[in-house]
Amino acid sequence: MYAITGVTGHVGGAAARRLLDRGAPVRAVVRDAARGGAWAGAGAQAVVADFGDRAALAEAFRGCRAAFVLLPTDPAAAEADAYHRRLADSIAGAVLDSGVPHVVMLSSIGAELAEGTGPIRWLHHLEGRLRRTGVLLTAIRSCHFQEKVETVLGAAAGAGLYHVFGDSPDVPIPMVATRDVGGVVAEALLATPPAGEVIDLDGPRYTERQVAEELAAVLGRPLRVVTIAQPQWVAAMVEAGLPPQLAEELAGLYDAEQRDLLHPVGDRLLTCTTGLGETLRHLAKTAL
């Protein structure tokens, strides 16, 4: 049995579907029982547990050959740093209590750094807490998700604008599709390694201008690329509806990227191949 958290999201859902396609037994961990019905219908066992409920989460992991975990970001959390560190502690505590022997964790490029990376530092904390439990840990450190475009779909479709938080929209960066990430997660769960490892994910490289052009083609309308200078990052995000604390954290992440701090340094590197156009067409079909 393989326990999958975040199963209603992009990566967890893709991992669960890949496992079911391979004939592997899946325990879909959901926070709301109503969201487990579809997974039960697909052949998975659905259980209810919240990331912050150590006992319930431990029970969801108990008896499983391996578990997939991630650290969700709660934009409404007060005292965001303390909240997400407590959540990481709860997840690691559940792993320890359950006795599950192998954990695959969704992490991020840059998670080897303890500070200066915005919310990535919470993944650094979770990686460390999991290792201290003694569990066999496979940390999958991803680069940018292609699905990050979801956050700008409204402005793009409505106002014809594509905002870029940085000095230039012409810097190529790797971007991976979450379905590819889920596939890597599933294979890591099925193939227990002899020792813990860090897997870095690489993918096709695009500039933000190219993303805007691809999105414009999918939407069937021109988009104007607007760069936002660093002093205006937080204010722009707050104006778009983000809580100030989360805006500050994301600004820290963008700053780390501008300072070129985020690089793959893991034990091995895997390359994901799904192109951005395919991802954008799927997003536009489901989100608009």
Superfamily of domain 2-287: NAD(P)-binding Rossmann-like Domain (3.40.50.720)
Average pLDDT, the chain: 93
DSSP string covering 31-82, please? Answer: SSGGGGHHHHHTTPEEEE--TT-HHHHHHHHTT-SEEEE-----TT-SSHHH
pLDDT over 70 for what percent of the chain?
99
pLDDT, position 151 = 81
Residue with tokens 């650290």: 71
Judge whether residue 116 has pLDDT over 60.
Answer: yes
The distance in angstroms from the start CA to the end CA of the chain is 36
**Is residue 245 very low, low, confident or very high in pLDDT (cuts 50, 70, 90)?**
confident
Tell me, what DSSP letter sits at residue 264? -
> Contact 130/78 with Cβ under 8 angstroms?
no
**How far, in whole angstroms, is CA 246 from its chain's centroid?**
16
Q: What share of the chain is helix, strand, coil (3-state, %, to 5)?
A: 50, 20, 30
> Contact 264/109 with Cβ under 8 angstroms?
yes
Q: Look at the pTM and tell me if it is higher than 0.85.
A: yes
Residues contacting residue 151 through CB under 8 Å, at least 6 positions apart: none
Structure tokens at 141: 């450190």
- Report the residue count for the chain: 288
The amino acid occupying position 40 is A
Mean pLDDT check: name the lowest of 72-81, 217-226, 261-270.
72-81
**How far, in whole angstroms, is CA 156 from its chain's centroid?**
23
Q: What is the pLDDT of residues 181-226, one digit of tens each?
A: 999 999 999 998 999 999 999 999 999 999 999 999 998 989 999 9
pLDDT, position 288 = 57
> Contact 123/111 with Cβ under 8 angstroms?
yes
How buried is residue 180: exposed, middle or buried, by Cβ count under 10 Å (0-12/13-18/19+)? buried
Of 67, 214, 198, the closest CA to residue 153 belongs to 214
**Is residue 77 very low, low, confident or very high in pLDDT (cuts 50, 70, 90)?**
confident
